[in-house]
Structure 1
Amino acid sequence: MTVNVSLNPALVRWTGHEGLPRFDAVKDEDFAPAFDAALAAHEAEIEAIANNPEPPTFENTIVALEIAGDELSRVSALFWNKAGAHTNDLIQALEREIAPKMSRHYSKIGTNPVLFARIDALWEKREDMGLDLEAMRVLERHWKGFVKSGAKLDKPDQERLAEINERLAGLGAKFGQNVLGDEKLWALVLASEEELAGLPDFLLDSMAAAARDRGEDGKYAVTLSRSIIEPFLTFSENRELREQAFKAWIARGENGGDTDNRAIIAETLSLRAEKARLLGYENYAALKLDDTMAKTAETVNGLLMQVWEKAAARAREEEAELAKLIAAEGRNHEVMPWDWRHYAEKLRAETFSFSESELKPYLQLEKIIDACFAVAHRLFGITATEKKGIAAYHPDVRVFEIRDAQGRLVALFLGDYFARSSKRSGAWMSSFQSQHKLPLKNGATGEIPIIYNVCNFAKPAEGKPALLSLDDARTLFHEFGHALHGMLSNVTYPSVSGTGVSRDFVELPSQLYEHWLTVPEILKTYAVHYRTGAPMPEALLEKVLAARTFNSGFATVEFTSSALVDMAYHTAEATSDPKALEAATLESIGMPQSIVMRHRSPHFLHVFSGDGYSAGYYSYMWSEVLDADAFAAFEETGNPFDPEMAARLKAHIYSVGGAIDPEDAYKAFRGKLPSPDAMLAKRGLVAPIL
C-alpha cells in the first residue's frame, strides 16, 4: 500500500496487536487530510478499473472493485467509530463536512458510464461465466447498486440524484448530532429525600456518578441515557418528577433552536420521495424493500397490523390492571405514559412476587459478558480471551481475542459498555475490518474481522460492580449476536461478509442469540449475587422465566407503532408536516394515550440519522418471526445446545453472510420458512404452540 505523505500512516497501516489499529497514534486533526488523500487514491483506483484496456472479466472488474479503496475503508472505519462512540466538537464539524463529501464521491462512482458498461456487460452474460453462487450474488449486488445509484439515468437526473444524496447525507449527520446535543445538555439534578423516594441503591449509584460528571458532587442526576431514565421512571415515587423526566425524554430533537429536528425530517422525507421517483419507484418504501425478504410495503404492513391488533388488545387489558393499582392508592388520575413503567413494576412485583430491583443484583455486567462468551463457546466452539493493556479508542474499551477450537485466531472483538456524554445513545455493533479471503495489494491474502459492540449501560461508582436490568442483559446478548455474525463469517468477498445481508435478515442472528440468556442453566451459572456470589434462587429464577411475557402488550405497542409510522412516512406521496402525519397514523390505529412510540420521530435515529433502517424498522419484527422459529428448532431437540443444530446454525446463518439468498439460507437451516405463530406465542399474544 502506498501511503500519501499527508496521511498519517497509523490510519491505514494497522500495526497494533494482531492487526488492530494503533488508536493512540491517531489524532483528531489527522482525519481531514486523510480523507482527502484516501478519496483521491480510491478515485484513481476506480478510474484504472473503468479504463482497463482488457475486456471486462469478473476478476479485473468485480474483484478489483471489491478490494479497491482499502485506505478509504480504514480511515472511514476509524472516523465513524469516533463520531458515534467518542465524539467532540472537532469530530462533529468534520462529520458535517465528510458525510456529503463521501456521498459525492460514491455518486460519481455509481454514475461512471464506462465502469457501469463493464459491469453491465458481465451482468448480461452472467449465466455463461461459470460463477459459483457467492460470486453470482456479488455480481448482482454490484449491478443493482449501480442501477440504484442512477447509472441508467440521463445526465440531468444523475446530477439531481447526486445532489439529493449529498443533501441527505448532511441532514442525517445533523439529525444525529441534534439528538446527542439534547441528551447531553439535559439533566434533572436531585438532592432531597422526597425527590429520591423509591429509588434503589443501584440507580442512586449511577445517578450520583452522572451528577459528579456534571460537577454536582453529592447530588443525583437523572439523564436521558436509557440505563438511567427507564429505571427512574420505573421506581420513582414522585409523579411530578417522572412526568418532567419523561417529557424531556420524548422531546429530544423537538425543543426548538439549533437542535430541533422537525425541519430536517420534512426535508429528508421530501428528498427521499423525489429520489424514489427518479429511480422509477412508486415511493421510498418500494425502493428500500426491493432487495429484502418482505419485498413490498403491503407485506410489511400486513404483518405489523396482524401483530398490532393482538398487541393493542393486550395493552388495553394491561392498562386496566394498572388503573386498578392507581385507584387502590387513592389516586384518581388516568394511566399516563410516565405512569406505565412505575405501576407495571408494582404489578409485576404483585403478580410474580419479585421486582426489577430484586433481580438486578444477580445481573452483573462482568458475569453477563462471561455468559455471552460461554454460550458462543458451547454453540460454536470459539473462545474469548481478554488482552489487558491494549490502547483502544477510549479507556473503557476492552479488547478480546477470539480463537476457534483449534486455537487459531479468527477475530478481534472490542467491548465498549458504558454511557458517556461523547457517545450517542442506544447500542450497536460495527466493524473496523470485515472477514474475506481475497488477495490484497499489500501482499496479504484475506483478513480476519475486527468487530466492536457499543452499549450505554450506567457506569457504576468506583469499586462497585455494574448491575444490569434484564433488558440491559438482553441488549448485551443481542449486540453480541450481531458481533458473532461478523466474527464467524466465512466468505470470499468482503461485500457479502458478516452482516452484509438484507435489512430484514440482519437482526436474525442478534435476536436469536437473546434466547440463550434465559436458558435456565445459563442463568443458574452466571446470574449470581454481586455481594455473596450465590446463584439466583430457584424460586426467583422460576418467577423470572414465568414473567417473560409480562407487559408484552406495552412493549409490542411501543415497537409496532414506531414501525407503522416509519412505513407511513415512506409510503406517503408527500408531507409538509411530519408531526401531523405521525399523529394521524397513530390515531388511525388507535394508539393508547398511555403509551408513546418507542422512538418518536424527532429522535428516531434508526430512520433519520442516515439511511440504515428507513422504511426498515419493521425488520426487527420480521427477524423475530424467524428467530422464534429458529430457537424452536433447538427446543424441539430437547437441548438448547444441540450440537447438530448448532452446526447447522453456524453453517447456514452465522457464517454465510450475504453469499446466498436469505430465504435459501433459512430453509437450509430449518427446512422451511416460518409463520408468525411462534413469534406471537413467544410474546404471549396468543396461546403457546403445543
Structure 2
Amino acid sequence: MPMQSTMYDKLLLLPLFQGLCKEDFTSILEKVRLHFQKYTAGSRIVKQGDYCNNIIFILQGEIRAESVDHTYHYTIHETLESPQIIEPYSLFGMYPQYTASYYAHTNVNAITIDKAYILSELNKYEIFQLNYLNMLSNRAQTVYRKLKSPHASDTLDKIVNFMQLRCITPTGEKKLQIRMEDLAEQIDDTRINVSKVLNELKDGGVIRLSRRIIDIPDMETLSNYKENKKTLFMENPFLQPYTTPHGTVPFDKIELVHYEPAIREGISQEDKEINDIISNPEKPTFKNTILALEQSGKLLDQVTTVMFNLMSAETCNELDEIAEKMMPLLSEHSNNISLNEKLFERVKQVYEERKNLKLTPEELRLLEKTYDGFVRNGANLSEEDKVTFRKISTELSSLTLRFSQNHLKETNSYELLLDSEEQLKGLPESIIEAAAHTAKEKGKNGWIITLQAPSYVPFMKYSENRELRRKLYMAYNTQCIHDNEQNNEDVVKQLVNLRMQLAQLLGFKNYADYALRKRMAENSERVYQLLDQLLEAYTPTAREEVKEIEALAQRTEGKDFQLMPWDFSYYAEKLKNEKFNLDEEALRPYFELSRVKEGVFGLATRLYGVSFKENKDIPVYHPDVQAYEVYDKDGSYLAVLYTDFHPRAGKRSGAWMTSYKEQWIEANGTNSRPHVSVTMNFTKPTPNKPALLTFSEVNTFLHEFGHALHGIFANTRFKSMSGTNVYWDFVELPSQIMENFAIEKDFLNTFARHYQTNESIPEELLQRIIDASNFNVAYACLRQISFGLLDMAWYTRDKAFDGDVREYEREAWKRTQLLPPVKETCMTVQFGHIMSGGYSAGYYSYKWAEVLDADAFSVFKEKGIFNQDVAQSFRDNILSKGGTEHPMTLYKRFRGQEPTIHALLKRNGIK
C-alpha cells in the first residue's frame, strides 16, 4: 500500500524510525499488518500492569499517563503529546508489562503493531535495530544516572529527583497525588522543609497546590528552577555584595522583581541561622546564642528595610502589592522565631545564668532585651495561645499596611481645582505659583490645591474664600471615612481590638499597659498624670487665645460670627500679623532651602565639628534625593545622610527620619557606620522661584535632622540598641531639642538671607520671630494633648470596641476642644501615628520629650547655645548611646538631675 506523506513525516519524528527512508517504510508496510485505531477523549488505551504485546504509536492528539504506587501511596499523572510511542522499552524483557495506565486526553489517532511483527520483520532492518537498541540504552543510562546521582543536598533537589526518576518523560505537564508526610518520607526529609519548598515553588508560579495534589505545568521549568534561581540571584542586587560607596543601597539597580525572591532567600538564610543556634550541641552562652541571634537575618533586614522605607517615600501599586503579599510570610517568619521553644530555652538558660557570666553592661542590656522580647512576643504562652498569638500578629501586620495604603491613596487622589482668579484672593504669590505648577504637571488649566501639607496649610492660613476653606478642611478631615474602598473605620476597630486581645493574651489589662512597660512612663497612670498636669496648666491660656482670635474675626465679620475650625488658621494668622507685624509669607524669601540646609548642617559643624560632603556617586531612589558623606571632626568617616525634601505622587505626607543601615561593631572590631535619611514635604521650587520654606518648615527640618544626628552619632556594639532604637518616649528628645535653635538669633543669622538680594534677615524681623514664638502656644499644646488623650482612650480599653468611631473620638476629646465640633470629621481613621506608625499608646511621647528637651536645652542656654563642651556631653551621653542604658540614667548623666515641667512652662510663658 502507498505510504502517506503525513504519516511518514510523523513516524519519522519518533527515534525508533529515524534514518529509515520512504522506500524502507513502503517495504515494511507490505509485510507488516498495521492496526489503525481511534480513541475518544477519556477512554483507556492500556492499563498499568497489562502485558505489552503491541507497540502503540500515537500519531495525533494527547495522551495521559497515570502511574500508581500502592506501596508508597502516590500517583503521577503525565500529559504526553503526539507523536509518541507508548513504552517501547517494555516490549521485551523479564517483565514486559506497562508501568502506567494510558488514557486519551483528547481524541487520539494511533497505529498498533503486533510484537510478533517486530520480531519477525522489523528486525531485518539494521537501522531499526540500532534505533531500538539506542532507545533501550538511553533509557537504562537515564535510570542509572538518576539512581547513582550524588545524594541531593537540599529539599528542592530531592523533590526534583523524585519526579525525574518516576516520570516517563522529562518534560511536559505532571500531576503528583501524594500526602505531604509520604513525600517527606520518600525523599528522606522533614514535612516542614517539604512544605516550605512547595510553597516557594507555588509562589514562584512553578507549581500549583491543592489538597494532596501537586500540579506541575511544565516539568522542565521545575527541573531548571534551581539553575534559573541561581541566575536570578546573580542578577538580583540584594543578593550580591554592594559595590557602591560605603556599601550604600544600589537603588539604581533594584527593580520590583527583585524584592520577593530576596525576601524569600532572606527568610531561608535566617531560618538556617536560627537552626544552627538551636542545633548547637554546646551549652548555651552569650556568644553562641544571644550574639548569634543578634547577628542573624542580615539579608532579610536589608531587603525589608528598603521595601518599607520606599513604601513611604517612593511607592507604587506594584510595590504595595508585593508588600501585601509578603506581610503574612514575614509575620509568620517573625512568629516562628519568637515562638521557637528550643531557641527560647537556650535564651532562657543564658538569662538565668546572667549573674555568673561577667557580662559587660551593654551585653547584659542586650541579654535582658532579648529575653524580654521573647516573653513579650508570646514565648511563655501555651501551645493553644501561641496559635492565637500568631493569628493576631499576622492580622495586625496586614491591617497596619492596609491602613497606611488607604490613607496614602485618599491623600493623593484629592485635588481642589480653582478656575478663577477670584478664588485665589489672599493667597501668597508663592502658593499661587505652586498651585499653577501642580495643575500644569497634571495637564489641567487653573490652579490645584492638594491635601499635602505645603499646599493645604498655607491655603487654610491665607485664603479669603471661607467656603473653599471649609471645603478643603472637610476634604482633609474626612479622609478614610467615606463610603469607599479606602474607608478605615473597620480597620481601626480591628486594630484596636486585636491589640487589646494580644495584650490580654500576655497577661496585661489593656494594650497601653503592655506597650508602656518598655517606656520611660512605665504605665498609663503616669501618662495621664503628665497630660492632666499640662491640660490644667495650659487650658486657661488656650481659652484666652481662642477668645482673642474669635474677637478679631467678629470685628471683621460681625458680632454674630462663629469661629469654626476652618476659620482658625486664617484669623490666627491675621492676629499674629496684627500683634507682631509678622507674616510667615514675608519670611519665606529668607529661608531658601539650600541656605537653610547650609545653616542646619553648619549648626552640626559648630556644635559637634562634623562636616557634610555631597557624593553624587551614591545611588538614590529619586532625582530629588541627595546623598552626603558625613565626616567627624578628626576627618574620619561617620555616616551617609540622604535628604528628600519635596512632595510627589507615591510619597506619603509628613516628615520623618529613617535608617537604611544601622550602626554596629563587627566581629573584627570594625565600626560599621550608619546610612540615615531625612524625608520631608517642603514646598517645591517652581520654574521662577527656588524652594522657599516657611518658618514652620525650618522647625521641621531641625526636628528631623535631630533624629538624623541620633543615628549618625550612634556608637554601640549591637545594632538592635543603636541610634534611635531607644524607648519610644525618649526618641523625640534629640529631635525636639534641635527645634530650640529656630528662635535663636545667633543661629538664624548664620544662614537667613534674602534669596534675591542676599541681605541678612533684619534684626527687628528676627526679634519679631522670637516674640511670636509663643503665639498660640497653649492652643497648640492642647491640640497635642488631645491627640495623646485620643491615643490613650483607644488603648486603655479592656473590652472590644464595636461602636461609632467618630462618637468615641468626640468623647475622648471633650476636655480639650475649644472650637465647635464638626460631626462629619474623624481623625482616628487617618491617625497613622497611633494606628500604623509605631506610636500606639505612645503619642504622649511628644509632650514627654518636650519636657525633656526644654529642661535639657536650658543647659545650652546657661553655657552658650554653641558651647561645644555641652554639645559633646549631649553627644556622649545621649546621641551615641542609643538604647544601651535606661534613658533616665543617660539623661541624668547629661543634665545632673531628673527633668521637671518648669522649664517647659517657663519657655512657653505659662505661669
**TM-score higher than 0.5:** yes
- Which residue type is aligned with residue 244 of structure 2? G
Pick one of 15, 30, 53 that aligns with 2:258.
30
Q: 1:514 aligns with which of 739, 742, 751?
A: 739
Q: Look up the equivalent residue of 1:78 and give its one-letter code.
A: V
Give distance in 1, aligned partners of 2:681 and 2:313: 10
- C-alpha displacement of 1:599: 8.6
Give 4+ residue runs of structure 1 displaced > 6 Å after superposition.
595-599
- TM-score by length of structure 1 reads 0.96
Match of 2:858 in 1: 632
Q: Answer yes or no: is the 8 Å Cα contact 1:561–1:586 preserved in 2.
A: yes
The letter of the residue matching 1:105 is H
Task: Identify unmatched segments of 5+ residues in structure 1.
Answer: none
- Displacement of 1:407: 1.2
1:148-200 Cα shifts (integer Å, max 9, x gaps): 11000011101100110110010000000001111111010113121000000
Match of 1:533 in 2: 758
Q: Is the 8 A contact 1:336 1:593 kept in 2?
A: yes
1:95-144, CA deviations, whole angstroms, 9 ceiling, x for partnerless residues?
22222221111111001011101111111111111111111111111001
Residues 414, 452 of structure 1: 8 Å contact kept: yes
Residue 622 of structure 1 is matched in structure 2 by 848
Q: Does the 8 A contact of 2:786 with 2:816 survive in 1? A: no
**Are 1:500 and 2:725 counterparts?**
yes
Corresponding residue to 2:641 among 407, 413, 437: 413
Secondary structure class of the residue paired with 1:301: helix
The residue that corresponds to 1:95 in the other structure is 323
Q: Structure 2: 5+ residue runs without aligned partners?
A: 1-228
Change in CA separation of 1:526 and 1:595 when aligned onto 2, cut-off 3 Å:
farther
Task: Give the drift of 1:617.
Answer: 0.6
Moved more, 336-345 or 390-399: 390-399
Distance 1:446 1:59 in 2: 19
Q: In structure 2, what is the equivalent of residue 681 of structure 1?
A: 906
Question: Greater relative contact order (Cα 8 A, min sep 6): structure 1 or 2?
Answer: 1
Whichever residue aligns with residue 358 of structure 1, its letter is A
Q: 1:668 maps to which residue?
A: 893
Partner of 1:304: 531
Residue 367 (str. 1) matches residue 595 (str. 2): yes
After superposition, the Cα gap between the structure-2 partners of 1:641 and 1:196, relative to the gap in structure 1 and judged at 3 Å, is: same
Corresponding letter in the other structure for 1:367: R
Deviation at 1:61, TM superposition (A): 0.9
State the distance in 2 between where 1:594 and 1:214 align: 36
Residue type matched to 1:563 in 2? G
Aligned length: 677
Shift of 1:680: 2.3
Contact 2:783 2:816 in 1 (8 A): no
Q: Secondary structure, in 3 states, of the residue corresponding to 1:526?
A: coil
Out of 396, 409, 419, which is 1:168 matched to? 396
2:794 to 569, 578, 595: 569
Matches within 5 A, 1:80-229: 80-217=308-445, 219-229=446-456
Structure 2 residue aligned with 1:658, among 883, 897, 900? 883
* Partner Cα distance (2:550, 2:760) in 1: 36
Provide the rounded CA distance (Å) in 1 between the counterparts of 2:243 and 2:304: 17
Contact 1:15 1:21 in 2 (8 A): no
Instruction: Tell whether the 8 Å contact from 1:290 to 1:296 is kept in structure 2 after alignment.
Output: yes
**Scaled by the length of structure 2, what TM-score is found?**
0.73
Deviation at 1:545, TM superposition (A): 0.4
Equivalent position SS for 1:151: coil
**Is residue 729–residue 848 contact of structure 2 (8 Å, CA) maintained in 1?**
yes
From 307, 312, 315, the counterpart of 1:79: 307
> For residues 421-460 of structure 1, what are the structure 2 equivalents within 5 Å?
421-439=649-667, 445-460=670-685
Q: CA RMSD in A?
A: 1.7
Partner of 1:248: 475
- The secondary structure found in structure 2 opposite 1:399 is strand
Match of 1:318 in 2: 545
Q: Aligned residue for 1:238?
A: 465
2: CA distance between counterparts of 1:400 and 1:290?
Answer: 38
Shift of 1:342: 0.4
Rounded to whole Å, the distance in 1 between the matches of 2:752 and 2:696 is: 14
Q: Aligned AA for 1:627?
A: D
Equivalent-residue separation in structure 1 for 2:261 and 2:358 (angstroms): 43
Matching residue within 583, 593, 606 for 1:355: 583
Cα distance between partner residues in 1 of 2:821 and 2:902: 25
- The correspondence for 1:291, drawn from 518, 525, 541, is 518
Q: 1 CA distance for matches of 2:451 and 2:816?
A: 28
1:384–1:403 CA contact under 8 A, matched in 2:
yes
Matches of 1:601 and 1:394 in 2, distance apart?
Answer: 31
Distance 2:874 2:334 in 1: 35
CA offsets 1:379-431 (integer angstroms, 9 cap, x no match): 11110111235430111000000001121111000001100121011111111
Q: Counterpart amino acid of 2:474? A: K
Task: Give, in angstroms, the shift of residue 683 of structure 1.
Answer: 2.8
Give, as a single letter, the amino acid of the residue that structure 2 aligns with 1:239: R
Is the CA contact (8 Å cut-off) linking 1:197 and 1:237 kept in structure 2?
yes
Assess if the C-alpha contact under 8 Å between 1:190 and 1:220 holds in 2.
yes
- Structure label with greater radius of gyration: 2
1:11 aligns with 2:238: yes
**Which stretch of the first structure deviates more once superposed, 78-87 or 388-397?**
388-397
* Cα drift, residue 313 of structure 1: 2.1
1:39 CA drift (Å): 0.9
User: Quick check: 1:337 aligned with 2:565?
Assistant: yes
User: Which SS does the other structure have where 2:882 is aligned?
Assistant: coil
CA contact (8 A) 1:392 1:398 kept: yes
- 1:389 and 1:107 map into 2 onto residues whose CA distance is 39
Contact 1:337 1:594 in 2 (8 A): yes
Q: Among residues 545, 549, 571, which one is paired with 2:774 in the alignment?
A: 549
* Contact 1:558-1:595 at 8 Å conserved across structures: no
CA distance in 1, matches of 2:785, 2:647: 27
Quick one: percent identity of the two aligned structures? Answer: 36
